Amino acid sequence: MNYWLVKTEPDTFSWDDLVRDKKTVWDGVRNFQARSHLKAMEQGDLVFIYHTGDEKAIIGISTVLKAGYPEPADNEWIAVDLAPKQKLKNPVTLAQIKSDKRLSNMVLVRASRLSVQPVRPEEFDIVVALSEEK
């Protein structure tokens, strides 16, 4: 299993929207590195949903329902299908992540603008544990 993080502007599409819709096509990503990550996603992988904007926090965990496939509107780009798995007990903010030395090599810290990024298994576990602490 692989672990990922995808970013979304909550005013455009939020965790609550994903829960309401029960699944979504994650498309519209227009960055070559992010496209490579979408291509690498496999069914069953776990994906953090990160709210950008004022929140700057990981909100929940989704599951890849369908691995990367060409976007119907533009075959040059990749989409995946995601479904909500669980909301984190407490959001884990970017400030919390940056202040935790164990997460200093996390892509979110090093390349914060990348909209789709891998997460190492130990980073995934640390973030989930941080969400339980408050």
Predicted model pTM: 0.96
Any idea which fold 3-133 has?
ph1033 like fold (3.10.590)
Residue 110, pLDDT above cutoff 70: yes
The DSSP symbol for 123 reads H
**Mean pLDDT for the chain overall:** 96
Residues 76-95 have a mean pLDDT of 97
Give the separation between CA 124 and CA 120, rounded to whole angstroms. 6
Residue 37, pLDDT above cutoff 80: yes
Residue 134, pLDDT above cutoff 80: no
Q: For the chain, which residues make up each domain, given as ranges?
A: 3-133
Nearest CA to 118 among 12, 35, 1, 4?
4
